[in-house]
Structure 1
Amino acid sequence: MRHLGETDVTSYGPIVEGGEYLVLGLIIIKDRIDFLVYDGVGCAIAVPSNLFCVVDLKLPLNWRALITKDSDEFNGLLAMGVSAVIGYAKLVESLSSYVDIVEGNSAAIKQLIDEVFLID
């Protein structure tokens, strides 16, 4: 199912078929799961999970889950169909942090990547 203006020809930027990517989080949108993937050069891109083959089934122990309907701060995401966000702390610690990361703020993405490599 398509969301947020996607079409048959939607491009996911530098993400290429067959590439391996670090998953920074999961975004549950209506009836699908998007992976928030790091492209290795500074971008974090939400991409439908069905476009990937998962090669490492382990979840990081330090991931956090946020259910949007249970959060006064995040419940506005319900209007876009987002029911849950799961990932590293920086992704779910505040709505502004989430928005900065998903919208491509390079400083916010760098902070998230720093968290990932500090912990892992």
Structure 2
Amino acid sequence: MGEVDRTSYSPLNVGDCYVVYAMMFISDRVDYLVRTPEQPPFWVPSSLFRLVDARIPAGWEFSITQMRPDYKCLFDAFKISCLVGYPLLVNEYLHYVGVVEGDPVEVLRFMEEEQHHI
């Protein structure tokens, strides 16, 4: 959330297609959870993308952060109002934090979800 005008979103490449694994609604913007083959998943502003397929995957769930004690700190600190994505991300706060921080255990759990359900 500490983007500045010079924030780099490499390893993304202009013109490449990326799967969106979740969406995060922050004040007046939406971020996507994406990944490249060499990287763990990371959040990037949706304004960097052109949607090719706008369908929501079956099985996705949502979490209104203000209504969930474990996720409420996301609203308080960053104004994240809602998460929409695979169930593990929106129902297990420690998994969400682990994905954001690149924790190897939680990234592995993400990869397992990616292979089976996402």
TM-score by length of 1: 0.89
Amino acid at match of 2:93: L
Which runs of at least 4 in structure 1 moved beyond 4 Å after TM superposition?
none
Corresponding position: 1:55 with 2:52:
yes
Task: Report the equivalent of 1:13.
Answer: 10
Contact 2:33 2:41 in 1 (8 A): yes
Distance 2:19 2:108 in 1: 14
Task: Report the equivalent of 2:101.
Answer: 103
Identity %: 33
Corresponding position: 1:83 with 2:81:
yes
Q: 1:41 aligns with which of 38, 45, 49?
A: 38
SS of residue matched to 2:16: coil
Post-superposition Cα deviations, 1:13-65, rounded to whole Å, max 9, x if no partner, equal: 31122121111100111110000102122411100001001111221111110
Q: Which runs of 5+ in 2 are unaligned?
A: none
- The CA deviation at 1:66 is 0.2
Contact 1:21 1:40 in 2 (8 A): no
Amino acid at match of 1:81: K
The alignment's C-alpha RMSD in Å is: 1.4
Q: Which moved more, 1:76-85 or 1:99-108?
A: 99-108
Distance 1:55 1:36 in 2: 16
SS of residue matched to 1:8: coil
Amino acid at match of 2:89: L
Contact 2:63 2:91 in 1 (8 A): no
SS of residue matched to 2:2: coil
Q: 1:69 aligns with which of 66, 71, 74?
A: 66
Amino acid at match of 2:41: A
Task: Report the equivalent of 1:117.
Answer: 115
